[in-house]
């Protein structure tokens, strides 16, 4: 089902597979219409299905990434590219190694940077040099974070270095041998960087995201729920499965 709430378009799909297919179709259509699209990409469990559907579409010849440019939202800091939990490694495994995107066109904040401030400044400049992101894919934290913009008293504008929330470290510990192994910091696009994207596509799956989704769509616009800022975006789409939509379905018509 599709709903329009103020400026946000909301799709509620039966399950994760349908959500992933819907998201991949939107990305495919964007790339078809504009082959040199600048894609903003996310990592984590949520977009894995979208990436495997895009790989499937690519293998059938339905989509061509040869001119696509990509910028990932974030990376742990510090982390080596060879670490299997780095987002650098994740993107290669789930997308880049399986489609015809040119490696030179892919960008991820450098978790090995010696000067993290310079790395963040350079990242924003590089995005601007490509004319900005055309379509930004986002997941959402159970605490409402987007990228690694954690709940805070202020919205931080550009790409920056941030200390991860205890709840985020806990949530991401499932990927590491132990909670202690989760890096405590990350480099992340800021809220201005994300909001500058021409289109935004946020995905959420599972009941653990329901409260964050409810606050994002119906709550106050506040840095305490970073995703709530999307209410101000002129072209934001949110795709949910039934579990993630469980607290909002009754309020949509």
Q: How far is the CB of 7 from ligand F6R (least distance, A)?
A: 21
* Cα 36 to Cα 47: distance, rounded to the nearest angstrom: 21
Residues of this chain, 146-185, that bind ligand F6R according to CB under 6 A: 146-148
Among 13, 53, 74, 134, binds ligand F6R (CB under 6 A): 74
Whether 145 is a known active-site residue: answer yes
| Secondary structure of the chain in HEC code, one letter for each residue | CEEEECCEEEEEECCHHHHHHHHHHHHHHHHHHCCCCEEEECCCCCCHHHHHHHHHHHHCCCCCCCCCEEEECEEEECCCCCCCCCHHHHHHHHCHHHCCCCHHHEECCCCCCCCHHHHHHHHHHHHHHCCCCCEEEECCCCCCCECCECCCCCCCCCCEEEECCHHHHHHHHHHCCCHHHCCCEEEECCHHHHHCCCEEEEEECCHHHHHHHHHHHHCCCCCCCHHHHHHHCCCEEEEEECCCCCCCHHHCC
Q: Does 42 interact with ligand F6R (rule: CB under 6 A)? A: yes
Instruction: Give the nearer residue to ligand F6R in terms of CB position, either 44 or 111.
Output: 44
Nearer to ligand F6R, 67 or 142 (CB): 142
Q: Which is nearer to ligand F6R, 41 or 68 (CB)?
A: 41
Residue in 109, 111, 139, 226 binding ligand F6R, rule: CB under 6 A: 139
Q: Which of 150, 160, 172, 233 is catalytic?
A: 150
Measured from the CB of residue 48, what is the shortest distance to ligand F6R in angstroms? Answer: 8
Residue 128 CA to residue 232 CA, distance in Å, equals: 21
Task: Note whether 109 binds ligand F6R by CB under 6 A.
Answer: no
Cβ 126 to ligand F6R shortest distance, Å: 18
Q: Is 40 a binder of ligand F6R (CB under 6 A)?
A: no
**Among this protein's residues, is 143 annotated catalytic?**
yes
Q: How many positions of this chain bind ligand F6R (CB under 6 A)?
A: 14
| Closer CB to ligand F6R, 4 or 178, in the complex | 178
Which residues bind to ligand F6R, rule: CB under 6 A?
42-46, 73-74, 139-141, 145-148
Which active-site residues does the annotation give? Answer: 74, 143, 145, 150
């Amino acid at each position: 089902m599709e709903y329009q709430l103020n400026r946000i378009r909301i799709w509620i799909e039966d399950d994760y597979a349908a959500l992933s297919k819907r998201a991949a179709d939107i990305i495919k259509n964007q790339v078809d219409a504009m082959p040199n699209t600048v894609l903003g990409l996310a990592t984590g469990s949520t977009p894995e299905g979208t990436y495997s559907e895009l790989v499937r579409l690519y293998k059938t010849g339905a989509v061509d990434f040869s001119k696509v440019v990509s910028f990932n939202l974030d990376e742990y800091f510090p982390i080596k590219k060879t670490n299997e939990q780095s987002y650098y490694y994740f993107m290669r495994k789930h997308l880049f190694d399986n489609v015809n995107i040119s490696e030179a066109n892919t960008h991820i904040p450098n978790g090995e940077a010696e000067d993290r401030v310079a790395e963040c400044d350079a990242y924003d400049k590089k995005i601007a040099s490509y004319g900005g992101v055309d379509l930004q894919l986002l997941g959402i934290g159970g605490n409402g974070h987007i990228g690694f913009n954690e709940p805070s008293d202020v919205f931080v504008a550009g790409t920056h270095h941030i200390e991860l929330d205890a709840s985020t470290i806990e949530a991401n510990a499932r990927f590491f041998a132990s909670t202690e192994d989760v890096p405590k910091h990350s480099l992340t696009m800021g809220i201005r960087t994300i909001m500058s994207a021409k289109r935004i596509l946020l995905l959420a799956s599972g009941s653990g995201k329901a409260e964050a989704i409810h606050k994002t769509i119906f709550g106050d616009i506040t840095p305490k729920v970073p995703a709530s800022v999307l209410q101000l975006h002129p072209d934001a789409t949110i795709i949910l499965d039934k579990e993630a939509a469980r607290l909002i379905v009754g309020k949509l018509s």
